[in-house]
Structure 1
């Protein structure tokens, strides 16, 4: 029969998980019967639903089950299925594609959490010290013969749940809008950052060129000195502007009075050349050539930074990782340890980082362009708090709060 029993557990009503599941079944042309529904009535009580899902045929039912599994439906309690990768970077047919939500697979009767979860990857079962461990990997890292999870049996996705209490970081708590009280959000964000650092958590910052061009990078320097930055992601453009400002007090030849200085059109190229001349950013700091700036503070305070390259880069800097896949993997080293991620004025690096973040990471995206914020959420970073505002002005609010 083309029928399957599924279960939903947790705050499935407050978080719209139940309604989303039923909507998805109907939209895909299926049908359902709710066999049991137990509604939790307090913040501590979870709800439970047992639902009979019907499809037109076996293939149609499988399509429905795969979709609602991504929402959080428990499809099967069987052990997970795997197939060997036929070649390096080649996946077996019917491979399971991951979300960024916490995911568990059942191995030999035991539910095990998938390590390093991120969206648009696969799950590989590796044997480590005699124990079978599920690990999330991007396709390009899969090797011939590795056991790749296939189908949907033995997989459980834990959906993000909307809190019943007021929390700006609650899952999809508010829509993207420029009409938000920035003072409230900046204070809430600073309070959250302080709480994270109090608990020895880690905060990643992802910044674009506007942060340097508007001089807001000087505030980021202070945040580094105060201990609120644990890793920095940026492009060649931001890094070059930061170094140009450190050397010449200009960005793209423009000084603090918004005047383009004589010969300033090539100042960024001179800055890049100086870094090559002295063997990179770290060496330039150690030799006393680079005496201030965000990257200077990163070197002085042992904060890791990843500079990812692109087709439009000048130079680029010797520290810029020109292979984008290698840049991704370097970013992944710090992403899995993050508790919070702040994305400022960068669409490409922001979305790229968002794609790699687990859904459990509290994410804030601040940009003048509402498209950047909505694009980040639409691409799958549902946990992101979107603020349509001037990131420079927002940084000045954070600076004021630092002194309180």
Structure 2
């Protein structure tokens, strides 16, 4: 005896490969499918519609298949409202809670599709029905006449009594689709990784996007690794911050320390970045730098005192560009500005990510993945690193919207600066 459900796919599902992928998911997971209706879009902007019955041996098998199809944008036909269960304790979600993707998502509540605020991967979906006298929507205190709201919550932020979405019913996911003509922003490397050198045409595409974001009063977030300083891209990045092309910066303690060390001692990790010589006791410069900033009270205080007068962190302070420095177990010091509580750092990064319209991930694996985890799939993202593993891991982790460039960061940033400023 088999069990079955009918699902629907709609959009540019042929061009993007979504339909074929969904067929493959069903077969790979031991199920079967039967296409009931299939209407192909007959002109450039027309969408394709597919309705199919999915069959499996058990309810559990079918549920697993439907979950995977849901992640690809398939919707159960004739949907019912989402199933809601209260969280039993703070930080504890119900069994079979729905784990989110970073794609635009809608939840059916009281017969209406409600868009999820701030989509983010690996979170729970929490529903608020909007009645201030009955915030959990039990119906005991009022009529619940407020508009329902659905948002993502990381598991540690879930509170006892929160109404958490469980199962797959009443959930619709809309993965971004590849443009049919391959054009639009970033069409030069749509959906993949480029290992070519940063040619002028590639830089122009990214620079044009940054200009557009700036013109629309949007937000460009730069995610920075220490290699920027080591490889000679620091001054160019500082110029971009000073010129207003970077609206927020996310990094670790190491990036800030090496940037400040370059200003105070002319070295990065004890190496002169101009002539690559090793000054006497240069290996101590980074810890001397930390000590000096701690003594002054922080980066902003060091700038105000005139001790720090150039570099990326200086430009951030001088131009009121907010920055988040997230600490790690490896940090020396750390600097007073570094957030050492990992949950607090995640929340600070999450706020930056939700405000970003364009993200530049510049030669840092851990921070690129951390920020990528918080980004909706609709946020344009460029990841640049000399190590191909950084780019591919980001894409494999779920940030499928990212454009990857495998190249030297010390070449990329100066070329981008020249394109934007000269």
- TM beyond 0.5: yes
Q: Which residue of 2 aligns with 1:238?
A: 255
Q: Does the C-alpha gap of structure 1 residues 71 and 311 become closer, same or farther in structure 2, counting only changes over 3 Å?
A: same
Q: Which residue of 1 aligns with 2:135?
A: none
Q: Which residue of 2 aligns with 1:31?
A: 32
Q: Does the C-alpha gap of structure 1 residues 165 and 199 become closer, same or farther in structure 2, counting only changes over 3 Å?
A: farther
Q: What is the CA–CA distance in structure 2 between the aligned matches of 1:83 and 1:170, rounded to whole Å?
A: 43
Q: Which residue of 1 aligns with 2:58?
A: 57
Unmatched segments (≥5 aa) in structure 2: 133-145
Q: What is the CA–CA distance in structure 2 between the aligned matches of 1:224 and 1:377, rounded to whole Å?
A: 27
Q: Which residue of 1 aligns with 2:279?
A: 261
Q: Which residue of 2 aligns with 1:189?
A: 206
Q: What is the CA–CA distance in structure 2 between the aligned matches of 1:326 and 1:207, rounded to whole Å?
A: 19
Q: Which residue of 2 aligns with 1:336?
A: 354
Offset of residue 181 of structure 1: 5.8
Q: What is the CA–CA distance in structure 2 between the aligned matches of 1:181 and 1:241, rounded to whole Å?
A: 25
8 A Cα contact 1:162 1:172, kept in partner: no
The SS at the match of 1:336 is helix
How big is each residue's C-alpha offset from its partner over 1:51-93, in whole Å with a ceiling of 9 and x where there is no partner? 1111112111111111100000012521111101111111100
8 A Cα contact 2:191 2:401, kept in partner: no
Q: Pairwise mapping of residues 241-390 of structure 1 onto structure 2 (< 5 A)?
A: 241-255=258-272, 256-390=274-408
Q: Which residue of 2 aligns with 1:126?
A: 128
8 A Cα contact 1:285 1:296, kept in partner: yes
Q: Which residue of 2 aligns with 1:102?
A: 104
8 A Cα contact 1:172 1:384, kept in partner: no
Offset of residue 119 of structure 1: 0.5
Offset of residue 180 of structure 1: 5.8
Q: Higher mean Cα deviation, 21-30 or 73-82?
A: 73-82
TM-score by length of 2: 0.93
Q: Higher mean Cα deviation, 181-190 or 64-73?
A: 181-190
Q: Does the C-alpha gap of structure 1 residues 225 and 365 become closer, same or farther in structure 2, counting only changes over 3 Å?
A: same
Unmatched segments (≥5 aa) in structure 1: none
8 A Cα contact 1:172 1:383, kept in partner: no
Q: Does the C-alpha gap of structure 1 residues 170 and 137 become closer, same or farther in structure 2, counting only changes over 3 Å?
A: farther
Q: Does the C-alpha gap of structure 1 residues 144 and 171 become closer, same or farther in structure 2, counting only changes over 3 Å?
A: farther
Q: Does the C-alpha gap of structure 1 residues 171 and 186 become closer, same or farther in structure 2, counting only changes over 3 Å?
A: closer
Q: What is the CA–CA distance in structure 1 between the aligned matches of 2:189 and 2:229, rounded to whole Å?
A: 30
Q: Which residue of 2 aligns with 1:19?
A: 20
The SS at the match of 2:338 is coil
8 A Cα contact 1:112 1:134, kept in partner: yes
Q: What is the CA–CA distance in structure 1 between the aligned matches of 2:421 and 2:213, rounded to whole Å?
A: 18
The SS at the match of 1:302 is coil
Q: What is the CA–CA distance in structure 2 between the aligned matches of 1:246 and 1:355, rounded to whole Å?
A: 32
Q: Which residue of 1 aligns with 2:195?
A: 178
Q: What is the CA–CA distance in structure 2 between the aligned matches of 1:152 and 1:172, rounded to whole Å?
A: 34
Q: What is the CA–CA distance in structure 2 between the aligned matches of 1:362 and 1:341, rounded to whole Å?
A: 6
8 A Cα contact 1:236 1:320, kept in partner: yes
How big is each residue's C-alpha offset from its partner over 1:365-398, in whole Å with a ceiling of 9 and x where there is no partner? 1111111111110111101101111011011211
Q: Does the C-alpha gap of structure 1 residues 196 and 260 become closer, same or farther in structure 2, counting only changes over 3 Å?
A: same
Q: What is the CA–CA distance in structure 2 between the aligned matches of 1:92 and 1:403, rounded to whole Å?
A: 53
Q: Higher mean Cα deviation, 341-350 or 159-168?
A: 159-168
Offset of residue 127 of structure 1: 4.0
Offset of residue 262 of structure 1: 1.8
Offset of residue 148 of structure 1: 0.6
Q: What is the CA–CA distance in structure 1 between the aligned matches of 2:408 and 2:364, rounded to whole Å?
A: 12
Q: Does the C-alpha gap of structure 1 residues 196 and 254 become closer, same or farther in structure 2, counting only changes over 3 Å?
A: same
The SS at the match of 1:185 is helix
Task: State how many pairs are aligned.
Answer: 404
Q: Which residue of 1 aligns with 2:237?
A: 220
